[in-house]
Amino acid sequence: MTYTWATTGTPPAAVTYSVNGTNAAKNTVATFTKIGTYSFRVTISDPAGLSTTSSVNVTVNATLTSIVISPASVTLNSGGTQQFSAVAYDQFGTSISPQPSFTWSMVSGGGTINSSGLYTAPSSSGSAVVQAASGGITDTAAVNITSAGNVFTNDADIGSPTYTGSYTYSNGTYTVNGGGADIWSTSDQFNYLYKAITGDVTIIARVASLTGTSLNSWPRQA
């Protein structure tokens, strides 16, 4: 007796058999490369040329096998944020649809990550590892945290103001103190930060707050 296996209809993908078309094929192993429902027909033939057929349907379900986080690594300034995403793949390396839910957590290092994968770096430099998990499968991503750096190295007063200006720096934030006459008319007085640089440079700064010290003050930024 010989046993010959074949798929019928339109299978999701081609199927291979460990043995086929022989007597040993009465016990065969089918290998799949894609999830879905497959219809099989086996034809059983004897030496006299008589044959019969039998059919069976097999459904191959997706099994969560791996998770991939994107980006796999990132460098952030202290206090910066990064949105991570994760994709789950089945046993054939195909993304699962619909995607499962993921649990985000910190494996090591500083910072926090919320339930949607948004990471917030700490105020100091260092490193961290974040993790996405689902169904007992995990993946991790590495974070390198660097200090924003003290860009300016000096400050100076313009116009000999009554109150000497000053500045402090901490974790990427400058606090500048200065006073004097308003910057119109004939006497401009203020304090400013500077650094001597050769060549072209672009500096982008955000003014977080601006305050005066008296009812007649006119705080400015330049």
Residue where a domain stops, chosen among 115, 146, 177:
146
CA 146 to chain centre: 18
- Cα–Cα distance, 105 to 176 (Å, whole number): 38
HSE value, Cβ hemisphere, 13 Å, CA-based, for 132: 24
- Cα–Cα distance, 18 to 3 (Å, whole number): 12
Residue 77 has pLDDT above 70, yes or no: yes
- Cα–Cα distance, 180 to 220 (Å, whole number): 11
DSSP-derived pairing of the beta strands 51-60 and 36-45: antiparallel
Residue 79 has pLDDT above 80, yes or no: yes
Q: Model confidence over 125-177: pLDDT tens digits?
A: 899 999 999 999 999 999 999 876 667 778 898 888 878 888 887 767 888 88
Residue where a domain stops, chosen among 60, 77, 109:
60
pTM score of the predicted model: 0.66
Helix %, strand %, coil % for the chain, to 5? 0, 45, 50
Region 188-202 average pLDDT: 80
- Tell me the two tokens of residue 71: 């980006």
- Residue 36 sits in a domain whose CATH number is 2.60.40.10
Whose tokens are 């640089």? That residue is: 197
Q: Is the dihedral of CA 91, 93, 94, 100 positive or negative?
A: positive
- Residue 165: count of CB within 10 angstroms of its CB: 19
- Asked whether the beta carbons of 175 and 210 are under 8 A apart, the reply is no
- Cα–Cα distance, 82 to 119 (Å, whole number): 5
| 101 and 172 co-located in one domain | no
Residue 215 has pLDDT above 50, yes or no: no
- Residue 111 sits in a domain whose CATH number is 2.60.40.60
Region 206-214 average pLDDT: 75
- Residue 132: count of CB within 10 angstroms of its CB: 23
Provide the residue range defining the domain that includes 186: 149-222
- Tell me the two tokens of residue 110: 């500083």
Residue where a domain stops, chosen among 60, 75, 99:
60
| 153 and 195 co-located in one domain | yes
Task: Work out how many domains the chain is built from and give that number.
Answer: 3
